[in-house]
């Protein structure tokens, strides 16, 4: 197990025991790690019922660890449209001869 996995396991264990002690409920840890919808619903519900600051901090930490990080792609500005070359009035167009006809 990596260090991050061990930390997540500790947080989940503390969360399960805290929920059991304070709210008398049981939390499915397998579903918490494998089902994002269950994890979100459970954490939202427990957040509303919790009345302890440390318990709320635990919920916040778990939400950060379990929620898939939103992939933010860097915004690449679109290339500026090329401006048409500006002709000055002093410059003449001699493509059709001196008379322009």
* Residue 81 neighbours by CB distance under 10 Å: 6
- Note the pLDDT of residue 74: 67
- Note the pLDDT of residue 85: 64
In this predicted structure, the answer to whether residue 18 has a pLDDT above a threshold of 60 is yes
Only one residue has tokens 């302890």, namely 52
- Note the pLDDT of residue 67: 79
Torsion of CA 26, 30, 32, 35, to 10 degrees: -130
What is the tens place of the pLDDT at every residue in 67-99?
765 445 666 777 777 766 666 666 666 676 666
């Amino acid at each position: 197990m990596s260090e991050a996995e061990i930390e997540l396991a500790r947080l989940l264990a503390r969360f399960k025991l805290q929920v059991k002690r304070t709210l008398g409920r049981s939390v499915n840890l397998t579903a918490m790690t494998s089902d994002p919808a269950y994890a979100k619903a459970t954490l939202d519900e427990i957040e509303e019922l919790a009345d302890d600051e440390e318990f709320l901090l635990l919920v916040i930490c778990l939400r950060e660890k379990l929620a898939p990080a939103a992939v933010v792609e860097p915004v690449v500005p679109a290339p500026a449209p090329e401006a048409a070359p500006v002709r000055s009035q002093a410059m003449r167009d001699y493509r059709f001869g001196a008379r322009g006809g």
